[in-house]
Amino acid sequence: MKMVKQISVFLQNRPGTLAELTKILLDNDINMRALTVADTADYGIIRIIVDDPNKTLKILKSQDYLVSETDVIAVEAFDKPGGLYEIATTLGERNVNIEYLYTTLKQGKAIMIIRVSDIETALEALRNGGFRLVSEEELYE
């Protein structure tokens, strides 16, 4: 099984909150491997892949941050036009909904971080479709 742990942090939508969060990560030698930010008028959700999710959860909870952990999939996208189309089609054909996705780079290759409605079916579909799943260890290197 190749799932990746994602940390979601809920922050007030005001100047300086992202700087405060990233300072805590810096002070604790935690490296971010991927990041996305979603916002509303009052709050933001920071979704991050870090090199040590357990340590990150412990530290952020001790600092009174509202955090959660989610299993996501990291899959290498084909570096050609239609790379995302092929992933989305493969999942859609198996009736797996992509709830959200974001990207990161690893050794010059595009890695899609994907939250899906059915992780087991998605993993099977991607493996059978010839896609390379990326492990947590690979992302953390």
80-135 residue pLDDT tens: 788 899 999 999 999 999 999 999 888 878 899 999 999 999 999 999 999 999 98
Q: What is the pTM of this model?
A: 0.88
Domains and CATH numbers, the chain: 4-71 (3.30.2130.10), 72-140 (3.30.2130.10)
Say yes or no to pLDDT of 56 above 80: yes
> Contact at 8 Å (CB) between 46 and 123?
no
Distance of alpha carbon 81 from alpha carbon 66, whole angstroms: 39
